[in-house]
Amino acid sequence: MLSLYPSFEVFRSIGTNRCRRSFRLRNQISLPLVEAGSLRLLAVAASRRLPTLPDMPTIAETLPGFEAVAWYAIMAPPNTPKNITARINADVNEALRQPELQERLRKLSAETYGGSIERTAKYLQEEVERWGNVIKAADVKLQ
């Protein structure tokens, strides 16, 4: 039930190891600009190269382990009966197998992952832990 949508990341660094400028672009906006030659990407933030941009390096090729992708999941309120969540999960998995949907998402450089509710819950927990560590390390305070 998990869908990952790698976002393009454009970084520009001038004479330091710090990122001076970062632009997070939505694929449906930026991919046509890249294809038209109006926008030059330096790297993508996905963990591996995108099929739609096979010559575009990943940030992880320079900074091993780097990954920052937008992802979407369908969730239900707590205590939703298991038969209902199982049905939704099965229907979403079926939809993700449809060639028309796969092609449409591929054009957006989207990768789709169907699967189990447990797999999605595990991924969500890993993301909470990973980004929680980033927030703590950066000493980000809620304002």
d(CA 105, CA 134): 29
Q: What are 44's two structure tokens?
A: 């993508």
Q: Which residues pair with residue 73 across a beta bridge?
A: 2
In this structure, the strands spanning 8-12 and 43-44 are antiparallel
Convert the pLDDT of each residue in 64-78 to its tens digit: 988 888 888 888 898
Tens-place pLDDT, residues 30-67: 777 777 888 778 888 888 888 878 888 999 999 998 88
Amino acid letter, residue 32: P
> Is 0.85 surpassed by the pTM of this model?
no
Each residue's pLDDT tens digit, 70-125 = 888 888 898 999 999 999 999 999 999 999 998 888 777 777 888 899 998 898 89
Is the pLDDT assigned to residue 8 strictly greater than 70? Answer: no
Phi and psi dihedrals of 9, rounded to 5?
-125, 130
